[in-house]
Structure 1
Amino acid sequence: MPARAENQPRPFLTSIQEASQFSELSGTVAYGRLAAFRQVIFVVDREKSSLFFVNTKLFRSHLDFLKRSRLFYGGTRSLTEGLSNPDRRFLFGVLMQRSTDQYSLEFIEDDPVTPELIEEVFRRVRASFFEPVFFRPRSVAQARSLYGREIKLLPEETTPDEEVEAETLVPGIAVGKLRVVRRGEDLGLGPEDVAYLDWGPDFVPNVAGMILGIRTSPLKHIVLLASSLGIPVLYLRSDEPIARLEGIEALLDVRLDGYSLRPATGDEKTKYSRKKRPRLLRPDADLEFGELTDLSKQRAVDAVRFGAKSANLGELAHARTKELRVPKGFTVPFRYFAEFLFENGLAYEVDEILKDESVQTDSKIRSARLAEVRKKIEDGKLNHALEELLKSKLKGYKGMGVFVRSSTNAEDLPGFTGAGIYTTVPNAIGEEAISFGIRKVWASVYNEGAFEAREAFGIAHDAVFMAVLVQQAMPARSAGVALTSNPRDPSEKNVVFIAAKRGLGTRVVRGDAIPEHILYRGDSDRVERLNPSRDEQMDALSGKGGIKSVAVVEEGNILNESMARQLGRTCLKIQQIFGGLPQDVEWLVADGKLYIVQSRPYVLKQK
């Protein structure tokens, strides 16, 4: 133990032998409105065979303790990247006091900790702690890895109500064969299936209903997209109800106040059966217009040239209000995507693939053929005219990183958002990287998730054209998503539901851990904090291009009261600009200023 003054608080203890020592080190953590527990974070240094119970009042996080205690001398990046290595030096956890004499040992939700590491930590902590300790998994993967092992789990009845057994993400009713797909397995799902997935997928499969085994934000892209497709989505902490019904026709009824999952009756199979719709919708696209156009010169009606994502941002940029800022950018219109496919000999090849019946019916063949198309597009060559136009336009972005973003004619349509199905290339630096980024975004028209979503909604694949938005990369201090609706109570009016994380917004839309959730009430100009962020990582711009994941070193609220109010008011203003329709808004804060980087209609389709 380091030397200290008599009244100076101890930075850590190597064992806790009585309740007063736990109180000396512990801080309070709130779990919503229903529970508040005292906790002590701990660090296991496997290299030195040491265990540190950290004074949680003095140190904001495990990383803060390691850096300030000089236990680790390398960079933060090298430390955090090593956390997924089973041979890592440091193990991070928390001891939570559940009742007077009951304590739980926990890891963060997305820690890929192995059963062997859990047992190692459990033995060390139990030998150095004065009360019995239970292990409490924070993810399905952590719980499943312990099957058959001698570790005492926290009794279910002591789990805080805020960490619910089930959560409604998209309400609705679905009937289909209950199919279980584990991480890494071939999906092979269809519109007559109700799917249980024990992970958070990157896209919405074409299914009747979906049950997730990992908790995620209601603002994750796949949840928003499922909502627009009318696919009910439920989070279930336990897969026990699934095992009883696997392989049979089941009814999934997801409600705002609960859910039911049971065998379907004959009448219900007829009433709720979800058949694949014919591909009838062929969205308009202007393939003649060829000017690379600044956002400030675009309006919403230009969606036929640039796609709704870009054109809607242009509408906001045109507004030029004090608190409605849009990072500068320009758009490569649809014309050049069509020219590229033709000039590289891909237009006919794509057409033949789309006509291939096996691509429609066999998920493995479909996945392989679409991957071939994407690779050929990424390896293709831009024509000389576009290269010269880009070179001229990029003079205004010299030394800047840019986000290369998708904007198609087949998203943000009435009843269909297309959220998250196409690719964004973040922080591309230099002409070569931006040129590749454009090809990468074009190729994402044939992403598997995009194909599945269009199949589900009934959009003709050969009628999809991709424009590319090139937009200044902003060094976001915080970012996220906001809805001008409350997904947990759609009847509420004049409200904004906000999801926020530190750094770039990529971890919010991917659904990596739970973000800070805030509800802004426009009628009273009031901010309600629903829950803090649980993410110990953040995405940031890399100086060499792309993004990097770094440790969060700040504690406390991500958005202060003033910025949360400004964001809420701005989102309600955006809703007015777009005719009062509820909006799904992506935002960021950089250098103390609020920026809007996307606004699309928020579609809630209940079945």
Structure 2
Amino acid sequence: MRSRLHLALPLLCAGIMSAAQGSNFTSLDKLSKNITSQNQDTITTTLNDNQSEADYFQTLVSRTDFEALAARSDQPGAQSIREVKYLIMDVNTDNPKLYFFNTERYPYHYAFASEGLGYSGTLSEFNSTTYFHDNRAHLAGSILAHDHYSSAEGVDGLYTVQFWPVDPVTPQLTDKAYKMIAEQMTFAQDQISYYPASDVQLDIYNNNLAFFESAEVPVIKSEQLFANIDFSILNQGQGYGRLRVINPGDPVPSVSDVVIYTYIPNDLAHVAGIITDSPQTPLSHINLKAKQNNTPNAYMRDAVNDPQVAPLIGELVKYEVTGDGIVLTAATQDEVDSWLESVRPDPQTPLSDLTVTEPALLSDLGNGDWVRFGAKAANVAELAKALKDLESEYGHQMVPRGYAVPFSMYNDYMSLPRCQELEEDDFGNLVPDGKYRALCDEDRATTVRNTDSTALSVSLLNQAEPITLAAGSQDMELVLENANGLVLFMRDVTNDRWLLNPLPFTDAVLSASGSSEYRELTVNYLRENDKKTVTLSGNSDFELEVFVLALWQVEAKLAITQTQDLPEDYFVERSYYQQIEDIMADEAFQASPDVRDAKLDDFRKEVKKGEVTAQMHEKLEAMRLFWDPQGAPFSKNIRLRSSTNNEDLAGFNGAGLYESNTHKPDEGDIADSVKKVWASLWTHRAFEERRFYRIDHFKTYMGVLVHESYGDEQANGVGVTKNIYDANWEGYYVNVQYGEISVTNPEPIITSEGEVSSVPDEFLLAHLLAGDDPYNPDHWWWAQQYIRHSNVETVYDQPVTTENVLTAEETVQLRRAMQAIQAHFKPVYEGDRSFAMDIEFKITATDDGSRGHLEIKQARPWID
């Protein structure tokens, strides 16, 4: 298998590249054997000069020729790989001429035709004779070098012949172009395939299978191409840290770790660099986090066993993801420390407004309310405004309706003074439980009555061990059960005196109530059937021993109850803010990410169990009447989602930091579910993110977005309201999956091929010129270009019912919704040309088996 690493050195000579055949790993040994006397800078300059002198080649005899003309691709699914564009002039004659041209210099075919070949026609004339016609005069396209493709036959590397996605190139022209290219790319004739890059071209292929087979044109589809790629670049950049392999259940990585994930984690810590051995898409949570944090991120199949990676595992490394691959080199601790300090920002305090004290209807809110309710809730409220007209047109709801819980309620909950409750210790004493959950009661008692019960087995001349009560004991009561045949008496140990003559307590004498005085105690005694009770009122200033003697063998029980002053720490008041402050001050917490993970987990459990005030309870319960106006018993499932002032913001999306949950009708108070969301502000991943960015933990507030939960989704997806591959063309990038199988965190599924990682539909909706006049709306088409298709075969134990995850109508609705969202939010955020929104959507569930409807769940600014 071709290595997927390289050293950070330029491509130096024809001999190296010819031997490497496009490899993105170049060893120092190989370089030293080929380069003996020339200066590296000089060689680099020479190569660049050679590239700049060539406008085109008509034959490519080596990979070096290809490299000399190549630019970095911006095509869907093939970002940053090498692309050479070609133009076949006079394609409809007996003497067509093929030009592989300098794609870096001439990014557009017309530019090359006019400037490189001297074509004298206008752009409109060129387009009308090059695209969309069966009898065209010229033919334009691209060749992409998929260096990380590995075929089932063991061939590494593939070159795909492609056309403009919406150009309906005939089978005959496709055959002609393929064979001319294969003949003139002499160094790679067995590695070239035609790739139908859009539904337009895929339909032509499917309708002409016999022709393509007889013409012997090899064709590769999206699912084959991208399933067999063993390396892809998700986010370029560099970082320093210790290279660690992370398996499920392993200790939490830190920001000074470069991690190789053997799975796609749900909880992603802030790390220095990411390699996954499972494929990702640009919209996966892991890549959104990488883009936000400028973290280098790449997919590398079986990275742990790569011979260039394995020796560095456990070592300090510099990790860089470039357009060619990844760079892993040894690093020093000083380099790691210097890099980490250089990328950390200055301390930050998130904005907030705590003046709103009650939940508010989303219909009363807008984007500007994010400082009171969080960006997620505010943007959902704003979404309703953006999609109002489309909802009216389509006749169904497209945005959730409901409430938002303000930051102030979280802040009040965390600030409430809390006291401990009591529990029995091993000796039966009531002691504080050490958990500060209960709201403090101003009138709480300062003493408690504790009972210590002891089973007795006594016989004549073999008394039970005496029981000692400490000096200062108060208001004691001694109850001797099964007392027949037993004598109970007491001794003042401090003053060495018997408290009472034991005779009055014998069975023969003690038959009624009686009382006496001793020092500061009043002693009352009572005999009732087989029970003897002695009550001592007041405080003892002496140590007291209690004896039980027997006239014969007796099994009995002695219970001693006394008043106890509660310890001073029982009355200490500690809010949750104070509790987490103490946790954070601990040296072990500061030093170890594993300790932080464990301590924060314990703290979240406490926050979830804390008591709310009656007023909070009332305000939160009132929200449920929005969906169940009749009140209890409730019938609706309610979704509660995090909405902080530290996520979904321009420049910081906070994807996956916090948690949401669904409150079912029979789960009791909705406050219990709200507390789960509040507690998630203290997840380990969120804490580590704030810690790295020096964001004030105590000025980060949790709001809650509250809306109805719609049950099992028929489909779920994410999208970006721009063409992430080419900003020059309007477009929308979409990942969508069947059911509730996660798009952002792919999970294992069972298919006819066994257990595999789930793959979503991944496609680009691009608004492309498909005619002569760019000013005529009728000459623009919306092309749907699939990068890969979902590999899910069953959903909810039933076969999938649609060829693609979304129907054609749903795709149109989604595209129109994304257009409306982009148009609405761009001025709200004062966005520039690169502005876009990142959305989450679903197709809702239905009870009757019919198709649900499109609903946009969330929108936040996209981070490039």
Contact residue 485 and residue 492 of structure 1 kept, 8 A: no
For the pair 1:484 / 2:721, whether they are aligned, the reply is yes
The answer to which of 299-308 and 378-387 deviates more is 378-387
Contact residue 206 and residue 455 of structure 1 kept, 8 A: no
Q: Note the C-alpha offset of 1:213.
A: 1.9
For the pair 1:220 / 2:220, whether they are aligned, the reply is no
Q: For residues 384-395 of structure 1, what are the structure 2 equivalents within 5 Å?
A: 384-395=614-625
Change (3 A) 1:309 1:537: farther
Counterpart residue identity of residue 356, structure 2 = F
Q: For residues 281-296 of structure 1, what are the structure 2 equivalents within 5 Å?
A: 281-296=348-363
For the pair 1:300 / 2:387, whether they are aligned, the reply is no
Matched with 1:67 is none
Q: Note the C-alpha offset of 1:250.
A: 2.7
Which of 741, 760, 764 is the equivalent residue of 1:515? 760
For the pair 1:471 / 2:699, whether they are aligned, the reply is no
Matched with 1:274 is 340
Q: Note the C-alpha offset of 1:201.
A: 1.4
Change (3 A) 1:551 1:216: farther
Counterpart residue identity of residue 788, structure 2 = N
Matched with 2:807 is 560
Which of 557, 572, 576 is the equivalent residue of 2:823? 576
Which of 648, 661, 665 is the equivalent residue of 1:429? 665
Which of 434, 459, 462 is the equivalent residue of 2:698? 462
For the pair 1:449 / 2:685, whether they are aligned, the reply is yes
The answer to which of 563-572 and 397-406 deviates more is 563-572
Change (3 A) 1:360 1:578: farther
Which of 415, 419, 424 is the equivalent residue of 2:651? 415
Partner SS, residue 687 of structure 2: helix
Counterpart residue identity of residue 817, structure 2 = T
Question: Deviation string for 1:502-531 (max 9, x for gaps)?
Answer: 223x61233222111121113532212221
Q: Note the C-alpha offset of 1:176.
A: 2.7
Q: Distance in 1 between matches of 2:797 and 2:338?
A: 46
Matched with 2:786 is 529
Q: For residues 107-122 of structure 1, what are the structure 2 equivalents within 5 Å?
A: none
Matched with 1:495 is 731
Contact residue 316 and residue 332 of structure 2 kept, 8 A: no
For the pair 1:589 / 2:843, whether they are aligned, the reply is yes
For the pair 1:185 / 2:250, whether they are aligned, the reply is yes
Counterpart residue identity of residue 402, structure 1 = I
Partner SS, residue 535 of structure 1: coil
Q: Note the C-alpha offset of 1:166.
A: 0.9
Q: Note the C-alpha offset of 1:481.
A: 0.6
Task: State TM-score, norm by structure 2.
Answer: 0.48
Change (3 A) 1:174 1:552: farther
Contact residue 402 and residue 626 of structure 2 kept, 8 A: no
Q: For residues 64-463 of structure 1, what are the structure 2 equivalents within 5 Å?
A: 162-187=227-252, 189-238=253-302, 239=304, 240=306, 241-255=308-322, 257-264=323-330, 269=335, 273-275=339-341, 277=344, 280-323=347-390, 325-343=398-416, 344=418, 345-398=575-628, 399-426=635-662, 428-430=664-666, 432=668, 434-463=670-699
Partner SS, residue 284 of structure 1: coil
Matched with 2:859 is 599
Question: Deviation string for 1:110-132 (max 9, x for gaps)?
Answer: xxxxxxxxxxxxxxxxxxxxxxx
Q: Note the C-alpha offset of 1:431.
A: 6.3
Counterpart residue identity of residue 714, structure 2 = R
Q: Note the C-alpha offset of 1:269.
A: 4.4
RMSD between aligned alpha carbons? 2.8
Contact residue 407 and residue 468 of structure 1 kept, 8 A: yes
Q: Note the C-alpha offset of 1:360.
A: 2.5
Counterpart residue identity of residue 409, structure 1 = N
Counterpart residue identity of residue 453, structure 1 = E
Contact residue 502 and residue 552 of structure 1 kept, 8 A: no
Partner SS, residue 323 of structure 1: helix
Change (3 A) 1:347 1:536: farther
Contact residue 280 and residue 458 of structure 1 kept, 8 A: yes
Q: Distance in 2 between matches of 1:592 and 1:323?
A: 16
Contact residue 387 and residue 820 of structure 2 kept, 8 A: no
Q: Note the C-alpha offset of 1:274.
A: 2.9
Question: Deviation string for 1:184-240 (max 9, x for gaps)?
Answer: 2112x3333211121111233222111112223332222212211111111110221
Q: Note the C-alpha offset of 1:183.
A: 2.4
Q: Note the C-alpha offset of 1:264.
A: 4.8
Q: Note the C-alpha offset of 1:171.
A: 2.1
Change (3 A) 1:434 1:458: same
Q: Distance in 1 between matches of 2:797 and 2:255?
A: 39
Contact residue 298 and residue 318 of structure 1 kept, 8 A: no
Q: Note the C-alpha offset of 1:253.
A: 2.5
Q: Distance in 2 between matches of 1:351 and 1:558?
A: 48
Change (3 A) 1:199 1:551: farther
Change (3 A) 1:478 1:166: same
Contact residue 520 and residue 565 of structure 1 kept, 8 A: no
Contact residue 361 and residue 403 of structure 2 kept, 8 A: yes
Q: Note the C-alpha offset of 1:379.
A: 0.8
Matched with 2:181 is none
Partner SS, residue 838 of structure 2: strand
Q: Note the C-alpha offset of 1:391.
A: 2.5
Partner SS, residue 399 of structure 2: coil
Counterpart residue identity of residue 623, structure 2 = K
In structure 1, stretches of 5+ residues that fail to align are: 1-31, 34-96, 100-158, 539-548
Counterpart residue identity of residue 338, structure 1 = N
Q: Distance in 1 between matches of 2:673 and 2:612?
A: 12
Q: Note the C-alpha offset of 1:480.
A: 0.9
Contact residue 308 and residue 411 of structure 1 kept, 8 A: yes
Contact residue 243 and residue 312 of structure 2 kept, 8 A: yes
Q: Aligned residue pairs: how many?
A: 437
Partner SS, residue 290 of structure 1: coil
Q: Distance in 2 between matches of 1:391 and 1:193?
A: 45
Change (3 A) 1:318 1:485: closer
Larger radius of gyration: 2
Counterpart residue identity of residue 763, structure 2 = I
